[in-house]
Amino acid sequence: MPALAVDAAAGAGPGAEGIRIDGVLAPGEWEGARHITTFVQVQPMTGAPGSLRTEAWLKATPQGLAVAFRNQQPPEVPRTLQRTRRDRMGQLDRVNLMVDFDGDGRTGYDFTLSLAGGIADEVITSERNFNSDWDGHWHHATSQDAQAWYAEILVPWHVAPMARGVGGKRTLGVYLDRVVAHTGERVAWPAASFQRPRFLSDFARIEVPDYEQPLLAVTPYVVAVHDRIAGHSEFDAGADLFWKPNGQFQLAATLNPDFGQVESDDLVVNFSAVESFFGDKRPFFTENQGLFDVPFGSGNSRLLYTRRIGGPADDGSGAGDVAAAIKLNGSLGQVRYGLLVASEKGEAGRDFYALRATRDFGAHDFGAMASHVERPFLDRSATVLSTDHLWTPDDAWTVRSQLVASSVLQAGRRSEDLGFQSRLDWLMGKGWRQQLYLLHLGERLELNDIGYLDRNDFNYLRYELARREDTPPEGSRFASWETRWAASTRRNTSGLRIAEAAAIQRAGELRDGGNEFWEAAMWSAGHDDRLTRGNGVVRVPEKLYLFWERFRPQRGAWSLYGSVRLAGEGLEGAAGLGPELYFEPTLHLGEDLAIEFGLGLQHQPDWLLWRGGDRLGSFRADTARVGASLQWQMGRRQELRVKLETIALDARLRQAWRVAASGEPLPTADPIPDFNLRNLGFQVRWRYELAPLSDLYLVYGRGGLAVEEGSRPLAELLGEATSLRDAEQVLVKLSYRFAN
């Protein structure tokens, strides 16, 4: 029997047919539950039994899906007891419950619980894309004794929308796993892995009673912000509402959603033509958002980017002020649907609409999405239509295809175009797999009124061959690794060659529980058709990239991360390699307090920047990034976080250029000045959890950005960065969730 309770959810969880979520597996408590003992290694992916015995119990109850774990871990295998804030797991002893409530491989939910009681929750889409923006309400507790540690989880049925069952039953997709932090070993049931192209579809299918659980929750908030620069204060209030009368319908609404954000974005200095991408932590825009998470294109590109709602206003006056928004999720028969509507205040306010529907036909899965944005200040309206198809003819092949069309009407002129992508994955066996990816983005395809697309006017073809090794030689420092070889070609829609590229990379899991990654990539000479922002195409030489990174989990009081990058991407090509070094040690002062330091240094001997019109500048640049953060878990309910980031950049002109009609950069004597930059972000945040999803925040934030002409030493710039004070405010926010 467990002897020491380590942590529990706020109070012991609710009883569920005799199950009490307190981390203690009492005799007879899990009688009648499905007992799972066939956990096998999936990291490394050997399929063999784990080195430590893991067993679980799974039971559907009227209160929710209940799971218990018993994780053998004798004293000779060290345990991690570090407490972490939500969604920041790190390399910890932990268990995962992942559930696809409809069993169709479309959307899953991941519930992670560490030995120390820390939690993380994520939405899984597109087979293996994990998004941690969402925070759900579920119950959890852990305990331990000398030989093992124990975990209990209860996920209420109202946590997600789900289709109606058949004959009083429903089929769930379920995946359970356990991670041993000291070695990095992961064991799972069934033998599925997110390192494969297909993950959600490989969950075990289990039939359970079709329980329904209604929920009505209202979360009002009040926020006060004192601007120490302007010397005035602002007060606001609003509310989020969530109503789920049954499993087939959910409504979420927000009135005057919170403008006082308590989550701070990382500092980004971006001189490129590609917009920076940021996640969204606003509760309304993360609740049941998985159906709308439709990727299209490479990187972070997607059809719905919720940061557009309440983003920079069309009149340049700051952030848009969202008046209200509503979201419906549900199912009609076998069709799942979602509707999102949001409206901003004021003359520059925008109206956003998105509708999504999916239907599973076994080997074929179809989806469609429509979005529309009205932007009256710009006399602009934009509509995007999309259809997607997933075909899984057998266990080896997966084919994903998508067609997107956009139509924009601005000042009486209409612009329309199409985009298409297809991704073919083939698991060949014995650790080998192949992937072919084709992407076409029309020259006038526009998604960024409500979505995120890093560029249009683009054709991309990529082939990848990969091999995974899960039984390395005896004595190897690696527990497993995967090597990938890739070749690709890039053109715009006029046939202009952007580049051909080849890359090789290896990602490995180490026997010390850490990981290591390296990559080498080469781009051919070609053209950059984005650099001048529409003022000409630039001929560019070959590019070379080399990268290595290593993470070592906690040993003693320290965990370590480091990376090295070499890049030659200016007009000198591969001959102009510049180094970038980053080192991040973390000091763990007991189980509740961690201090993280970060130092990054970069030298760019040939940094090519657009300087307006057809002018370019080659700079010799140096950048320093210094950061530190403190995370203190002050008991079960309180946490204190202090975060400091500074960036200093010094750029000295080497040569000015003008782009000729042929695309050739021609040296000129144009007076392009040297410049320097310093940036600061500082936040102190105290949080007190009043109840699940109910919090009191006290936040102090300060930041600034200064860009000046001339060259200055980095040390001097870093020193002055701490005195920047473009913004300084104190924020108090109280939100409380009332639920039946």
Counting residues of the chain whose pLDDT is more than 70, the rounded percentage is 97
Task: Tell me which of 423, 456, 489 is where a domain ends.
Answer: 456
DSSP annotation of 618:
E
Query: For residue 394, what are the domain limits?
Result: 248-259+278-456
322 in the same domain as 382? yes
Look up the CATH number of the domain holding residue 8.
2.60.40.1190
Whether 656 maps to a domain, the answer reads no
- Residue 558, pLDDT > 90, answer yes
How far apart, in whole angstroms, are the C-alpha atoms of residue 275 and residue 331? 35
- Residue 89, pLDDT > 90, answer no
151 in the same domain as 53? yes
**pLDDT band, residue 612 (cuts 50/70/90):** very high
286 in the same domain as 186? no
* 86 DSSP β-pair partners: none
What per-residue confidence (pLDDT) applies to 1?
34
How far apart, in whole angstroms, are the C-alpha atoms of residue 83 and residue 607? 42
| Token pair recorded at residue 671 | 């007076």
Sign of the torsion angle spanned by Cα atoms 314, 319, 322, 326: positive
Residue identified by tokens 């529309």 is 372
Alpha-carbon dihedral 527, 529, 530, 532, rounded to 10 degrees: 90
**pLDDT band, residue 82 (cuts 50/70/90):** confident
What per-residue confidence (pLDDT) applies to 166?
87
* 568 DSSP β-pair partners: 544
How far apart, in whole angstroms, are the C-alpha atoms of residue 87 and residue 227? 30
Task: Tell me which of 407, 422, 456 is where a domain ends.
Answer: 456
147 in the same domain as 40? yes
Of 532, 529, 531, 527, nearest to 542 (Cα)? Answer: 527
DSSP annotation of 290:
G
What per-residue confidence (pLDDT) applies to 14?
58
Q: Percentage helix, strand, coil, to 5, in the chain?
A: 5, 60, 35
Query: Could you read off the pLDDT of 281-315 as tens digits, one per residue?
Result: 787 888 778 889 899 998 889 999 999 999 999 99
**pLDDT band, residue 4 (cuts 50/70/90):** very low
What per-residue confidence (pLDDT) applies to 396?
92
**Three-class SS of 661-721:** CCCCEEEECCCCCCEEEEEEEEEEEEEEEEECCEEEEEEEEEEEEEEEECCCCHHHHHHHH
Q: Count how many Cα atoms sit within 13 Å of the Cα of residue 33 in the half-sphere of its side chain.
A: 25
Whether 723 maps to a domain, the answer reads no
What per-residue confidence (pLDDT) applies to 718?
95
347 in the same domain as 291? yes
Whether 108 maps to a domain, the answer reads yes
303 in the same domain as 178? no
Q: What angle do CA 586, 589, 590 make, to 5 degrees?
A: 125
Q: Which pTM does this prediction carry?
A: 0.87
What per-residue confidence (pLDDT) applies to 347?
92
Whether 177 maps to a domain, the answer reads yes
What per-residue confidence (pLDDT) applies to 370?
98
Average the pLDDT over 675-680 and give the result: 96
**pLDDT band, residue 496 (cuts 50/70/90):** very high
187 in the same domain as 292? no
| Token pair recorded at residue 248 | 């087939």
Query: Could you read off the pLDDT of 614-647 as tens digits, one per residue?
Result: 999 999 999 999 999 999 988 888 999 999 999 9
Task: Tell me which of 209, 235, 267 is where a domain ends.
Answer: 209
Of 167-176, 237-246, 284-293, 603-612, minimum mean pLDDT range: 284-293
Q: Using CB atoms within 10 A of its CB, is residue 339 exposed (0-12), middle (13-18) or buried (19+)?
A: middle
Number of domains in the chain: 2
Query: How far, in whole angstroms, is CA 129 from its chain's centroid?
Result: 8
